[in-house]
Structure 1
Amino acid sequence: MTATATRNRPGLRPAPRAADILPRLIAPLVLAAIMLAFSVLTPTFLTGDNLLAVLNQTAILALVAAGMTVVVRSGGIDLSVGVALDLAALAAAAAIAERYVPWVAVVVGLAFGLAVGLVNAFLIVVLRIPPFLATLSVWFIGTSVQQLLTGGGAPIYLVRSQVPEGFALWGNGYLLGVPFPVVAAVLVAGVVYLALDGTRWGRELTVTGEQPGASRISGKRVGALGASAYVLAAGVAALAGVVLASRTYAFIPASGQLYVMDAIGAVFIGATLSKYGRVSVPGTMVGVLIFALLANGMNLAGLSFFWQGLARGLALLLVLLLGVVLARQRTSRVRPPATATTAVPARKG
């Protein structure tokens, strides 16, 4: 049997070519290059203690980015997840300061964050305001609400010795030697991954995001699916806010905004791992690790904090640019050659 016959047999998929795979390897290769470079520059970079500390520090970003993945998969964007995080941290810290029991503080914090998601869902699904404008408006409003509730943006500092253990463990506890924030991030990322790629809800959400017109015609619950994405993203961000308040024993206004752009960047870095440019939880986590290890390596190497934003931007640009260039080269190689056609005049009579 010839190679041509083998390729043309029905039911057999052609072997993937390097040109097809290489664009999807850009982000993992950049991650590997970062690890290699800083392992040479700083001998403590690849130690177990340092890597565990990196995972612990980046757990909050991982949570926010997991929720952002759901929103982007639905075809939207959410600029207000930082507000959901902040309001959850504010409510939880205030409840602990008022001597409420830990579970009340956690529930109140989650409720405040979920309220942001419900407002987004109402604006986008019911009032049909574009997601960018709706969530930008909620970001402005939520920032002002923080200022009003704290008397002009005053932080809330908790006395560490008076914080109940049931609340402190959310940000500082350990489970089998692993920091609880890392456990929470892994569990949430796993659940979101299974929900997106292993359930009917996830499949319908994906189709709605990629083909909204066809989804409406086919009778899919486009509105309910979109609303669920924003509520879920806000809920996960609220959990991140509770973890942050527990870790720092404080609420610092506008802390959540530090995670929004990094989360969006991580999501779109992760999209390069897909042949179709589809965002996914595993891809997003690769983006999160790129940002986290880059920042950690620069700190260990003694580089100024002010260079980290530039480094993150260049890393994001590098991954996206190389992915686009390689994808275009692959497309140009497989494009069939143009064939000249000669018009044949119609015969008279």
Structure 2
Amino acid sequence: MAFNVTLKQSGRQFQVEANETVLAAALRQDVHLPYSCRNGACGSCKGAVVQGRIEQEPHAAAALSHEERNRGLALLCCSKALCDLEIDVREIAGIDGVPVKQLPCRVSTLERRADDVIVLKLQLPANERLQYFAGQYLEFILTDGTRRSYSMAGAPHEDGPLELHIRHMPGGRFTDHVFGAMKERDILRFEGPRGTFFLREDSDKPIVLLASGTGFAPIKAIVEHARHRNLTRPMTLYWGVRRRKDLYLAELAEQWAREIPDFGFVPVLSEPDASDAWTGRTGFVHRAVIEDLPDLSGHQVYACGAPVTVESAQREFTSHHGLPADEFHADSFAI
């Protein structure tokens, strides 16, 4: 049995099978709705059920609050239709024509940039090239069929290997392998591109780039893409980490600040110690943005990293500092 789903804002319709989620059905039919994790952890696919009934599968409590559920909001990656639906969620423009592929790849290099961060580069087969938008991610397909998601850190115009930034999560099956046993020329398999986190080029608003930890990876891709496209919009990068050593590509961000007109770089440490000899900004990275830009009504924000950072930024920027909700673009590194 299939049900019809109508998008309130555009009137566009698609069908969802009884055993699939609304988001999965939309992606299957090239209807581009916002999403990131696809497993109920990040909240990016949130939309309002205007008419009809759904079954909401289990999800992370932080991704959808009781108050939001009471207002009719749902996570579309965890929602199965029980009848025809009308939903209110924005469609993502400009993403047509980029196919999702499953491809093999070979490990080209592993470069340790910090105690717990490796820059992994992947070589595609000679006759393959991956089309993607700067900011999107890929999913490694492990031998048992499980998947691990990582953002691509290079801009799509580059012809070299795909670049990923991998943080070690002790006990994590994939990252333990990356940091312990993986070697150059190993073969992996992935699917991509995925996600709707990418630069909206139809705007001239100043850009705030907010990264925590290896959330710097897709931000790097966005900056390099904007530079390649000769975009002149002002950009400020706020990069939040715990210690100075965690700014694993600080020299690159500092180079951008020297070379790109109207580009600013603000590193923020949350837990510096005496050995860091740190004289810069401290605290929560999203608070540094607020201190510098208390009125965000004329900006676009691109935020990526730990869920608590992304959620705090979205809540405070949109509720108290004037940022329009549709100008907050995020990719939450849900675990």
TM-score (norm 1): 0.21
Output the TM-score relative to the length of structure 2. Answer: 0.21
Bigger relative contact order, structure 1 or 2 (CA pairs below 8 A, ≥6 apart): 1
More strand by percentage: 2
Bigger helix share: 1
Which structure is larger by alpha-carbon Rg, 1 or 2? 1
